[in-house]
Structure 1
Amino acid sequence: MNPGHQDWPVTPQQDVPTAYADIDFENNAQRLPLLLCLDISSSMAGNPIRLLNEALSGWGREIQEDLALSYSVEIALVTFGGQGIGVWQGPHLLDPHTKASPFVSARRFQPPRLQASGVTLLTEAVETSMSLVAARKAELRRLGLQYYRPQICLVTDGLPTDERGHATDAWQRLIPALTAEQKAKRFRFYAFGIGGISDRGQQVLRELAPKYHATLKGFPFRDLLQTMSASASAEQRGAEEETFEQLFNRFKTQRPAWDS
């Protein structure tokens, strides 16, 4: 949903729930929820997780320096690996039973220090991501606040597994939900394969995100995150779908030159 550009009343600060106290609701900027769904399973150990942490830190500073993005983009992180599914509010891992939103304003975003371990619960992580985005949109509507179409960015280097680390086809249940949600323009879903992702892993991403999937050599997290910023900027400008496709295709075609 995109309620448009009409003037809506601003919710008084005293009416804002404690869970959202870090967001400046007195500002009239439309919100743009951006959720990063990140693979931190054991295959990401060593240099990959180090590069991811460095990229998140640098990207956080860059997005804060962009005035338009810093006042509209809200960032949340979902990770899969470690002890299972992690939901992060900035640098803090939220309790699974909390009702607090993980979304924080970009200008106050501080990334966590991620560690790699565990299995690749991709299916459950994407389902969690969709649920969190839906909940945030409902909360923004309740507060009388406008928002742009949210973005979900999946990044993985492996195949979806179950809790025991065995390859699973459970991810196929995501396809009808992702198809329906995007047809209804409830969010835009990106899927990136990184590192040494297998051909089968690439096929999974193609089926999950037929229009916005890419396989990237190595771990170019900084470039990837900057592409998400560019997509957010396009969303703010009310760009047509063709613009997003051109932006994404440009990123994919430029990667070989950058890698070299």
Structure 2
Amino acid sequence: MSRIANVVSIAGVDPSGGAGVLADLKAFSALGAYGCGVIAALTAQNTQAVTGVHTPPIDFLRKQIDTLFADVRIDAVKLGMLGTAEIVRTVADRLAHFKAPFVVCDPVMVAKSGDHLLAREAVAMLREALLPQSFMITPNLPEAAVLLESGTPDSVKDMYRATERLREMLPTSGQRWVLLKGGHLPGGELVDLLFDGDRMIEMHARRIETKNTHGTGCTLSSAIAALLPQTAGDANGVEAAVRGARDYLLRAIAASGELDVGHGHGPVHHFHALWPQRPA
């Protein structure tokens, strides 16, 4: 697009900056988009654990969204941690009201530490109210299993069927995409599947051995949201946005050792291409 894209993250806040809205804003900025944020949850969190979650009053969440969209042209939306069924319903309602474009839904359910971030009763609401608003969903394998109420895919063949079933949960009209992330499969190669109901695209990459994987899902989905408006005029714009986002994330993971943040799963280096490179 000829003008700088405005992209909003509607998600939770991770004080350590590795995930959630703070990480999303870093990815937006690194990829040339102007970042906005709506806070759907506050967490007490570091690289090792989530010790508390606080959600804002629903009326205030609604006011955040309404006030932002009333003034700022929003070109894409990234959805992350929403927490409760009431939050999911409210976000879905406001996105429908404003006819939000390029909604990328990352169904955040469990933190890297293993702490649950989405109430069980919220999953049904996510299926019913939020997926119909989504241009793309980006679940990992455990999240796909929850959405499908099935076992976790444990092979690429299983991923194919899961991706097809996930696409069936999205509206049939217009462009709707599933990106199923295969990072939980064993082995040295990563395989993700991108599917629009017609074409299944396998995307491969080498696994990078590191413990610095905090916020990788948040970063990938926010990178896609940042790039979608910028590739919208291209014939293969969606595929280009996803490939660009994956390349950005893989480089951010590879450069994560330049950072020294916490004692658990450290963050990726969102500004690896912009900050001076540190000596190994």
TM-score normalized by the length of structure 2 = 0.43
* Larger fraction in helix: 1
TM-score normalized by the length of structure 1 = 0.46
